């Protein structure tokens, strides 16, 4: 399958992955042939990307850490939870209700069942649902990374709750600031910086939330070198779960479209995170990289020998060495039979260029 921006879709393309609406309703199923009216409808709904069938990758199937159904059910629960908190404020004491807790348990079950799967970023998001989708993504990836920490199920539950609710304090930040397209003024940024404190206040008043979960909401913008906020804590003062969630939080935010910038590809987001030496826990960075696809399925890469191909597999613990399906040689000619190369098992071959989506579609068009 191939991720395509809506503006690059053409009638006749085949959906390789189902499309769901903002409330989790199925809009178009996998295998549907796109028509002009479908594409126009997706544009009106402000969907940025879809996945379409790619003959070069017809045997490649994405295995998800958490199913689409579970993910969308969780987003619905988050919407209801945040809505009740917004309406009732500190008087709302039913946050940890059965529906919320069952959702957390379901996420843990699916992540643990798929803990050896590498997380492939899903960029199909709705602008108005950013906070909810972001929170669910952060929870899923945090659980996946935490599967390497040998935590008890109760510890995983505490971390999952904190990850899901890490941005709850943004409910008390002016929405116009959160959605502002231009640069923030110093005063506006100061208000943004208060959302961990708002989150701490909100969660501290709720029943049955573990202190470690609350710490994630308070500390997810701290940094190990003391450069974060709100208290400029250093590594040993920041809870282990917070040191994990802060990395995932930044990664998911960088790889999402925001009012003030376009989404970055995962490899660029990783470069930015690694550039802040000392800001993040080294062990957490290692575990994080072990579990993500730096080059997601379908990424077009050029190797040092000039060959061009598409990523068809990522392996746990090998974030920068995917399996690549070689399609073109250094002279720009297609191979009669594309073949796969595992960069982790091949000496003297490495990635020299990551093509943009536009470059990929030009070099490896779907109508070849």
Pairing of the two strands 26-28 and 323-328: unpaired
* Per-residue pLDDT, 2: 87
pLDDT band at 141 (very low <50, low <70, confident <90, very high): very high
Helix (H), strand (E) at residue 353: strand 351-354
* Per-residue pLDDT, 129: 75
Contact, 233 vs 116, CB < 8 A? no
- For the segment 171-197, the average pLDDT, to the nearest whole number, is 91
pLDDT, one tens digit per residue, over 314-357 is 999 999 999 999 999 999 999 999 999 999 999 899 999 999 98
pLDDT, one tens digit per residue, over 200-219 is 999 998 878 999 999 999 99
What is the C-alpha separation between 33 and 251, in angstroms, rounded? 33
The per-residue DSSP string of 43-101 comes to HHTT--EEEE--GGGTT--PPPSS-HHHHHHHHHHHHHHHHHHHHHGGG---TT-HHHH
* Per-residue pLDDT, 194: 96
Q: Is the pLDDT of residue 260 over 80?
A: no
Of 4-8, 116-120, 232-236, which has the strongest mean pLDDT?
Answer: 232-236
Which of 138-152, 174-188, 243-257, 271-285 is the least confident region? 174-188
The domains located in the chain, with CATH, are 2-53 (3.90.105.10), 68-291 (1.10.3210.10), 300-363 (no CATH)
Helix (H), strand (E) at residue 3: strand 2-5
pLDDT band at 120 (very low <50, low <70, confident <90, very high): confident
What is the C-alpha separation between 239 and 331, in angstroms, rounded? 53
Query: Residue 256: CA atoms inside 13 Å, Cβ hemisphere, count?
Result: 22
pLDDT, one tens digit per residue, over 80-103 is 888 888 777 665 567 778 899 999
Strands across the sheet with 334-342, in order?
334-342, 323-328, 308-313, 300-303, 351-354
**What is the model's pTM?**
0.92
């Amino acid at each position: 399958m191939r991720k395509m921006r809506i503006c690059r879709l053409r009638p006749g393309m085949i959906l390789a992955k189902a499309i769901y609406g903002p409330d989790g309703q199925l809009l178009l199923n996998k295998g549907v042939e796109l028509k002009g009216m479908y594409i126009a409808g997706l544009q009106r709904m402000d969907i940025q990307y879809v996945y379409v069938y790619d003959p070069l990758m017809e045997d490649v199937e994405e295995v998800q850490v958490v199913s689409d159904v579970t993910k969308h059910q969780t987003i619905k629960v988050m919407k209801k939870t945040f809505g009740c908190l917004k309406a009732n404020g500190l008087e709302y004491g039913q946050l940890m209700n059965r529906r919320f807790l069952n959702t957390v348990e379901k996420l843990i079950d699916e992540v643990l069942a798929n803990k050896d799967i590498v997380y492939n970023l899903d960029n199909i998001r709705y602008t108005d649902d950013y906070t909810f989708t972001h929170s669910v993504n952060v929870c899923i990836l945090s659980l996946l990374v935490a599967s390497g920490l040998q935590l008890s199920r109760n510890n995983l539950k505490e971390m999952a709750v904190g990850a899901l609710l890490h941005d709850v304090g943004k409910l008390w930040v002016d929405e116009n600031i959160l959605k502002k397209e231009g640069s923030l003024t110093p005063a506006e940024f100061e208000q943004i910086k208060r959302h961990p404190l708002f989150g701490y206040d909100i969660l501290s008043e709720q029943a049955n939330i573990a202190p470690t979960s609350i710490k994630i909401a308070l500390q997810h913008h701290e940094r190990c070198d003391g450069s974060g906020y709100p208290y400029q804590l250093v590594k040993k003062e920041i809870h282990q779960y917070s040191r994990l969630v802060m990395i995932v939080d930044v990664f998911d935010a960088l790889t999402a479209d925001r009012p003030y910038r376009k989404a970055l590809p995962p490899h660029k987001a990783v470069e930015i995170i690694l550039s802040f030496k000392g800001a993040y826990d080294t062990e957490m960075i290692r575990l994080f990289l072990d579990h993500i696809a730096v080059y997601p399925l379908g990424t077009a890469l050029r190797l040092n020998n000039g060959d061009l191909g598409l990523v068809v597999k990522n392996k746990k613990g090998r974030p920068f060495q995917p399996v690549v399906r070689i399609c073109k040689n250094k002279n720009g000619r297609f191979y009669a039979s594309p073949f796969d190369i595992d960069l982790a098992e091949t000496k003297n071959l490495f990635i020299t260029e990551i093509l943009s989506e536009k470059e990929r579609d030009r070099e490896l068009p779907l109508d070849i």
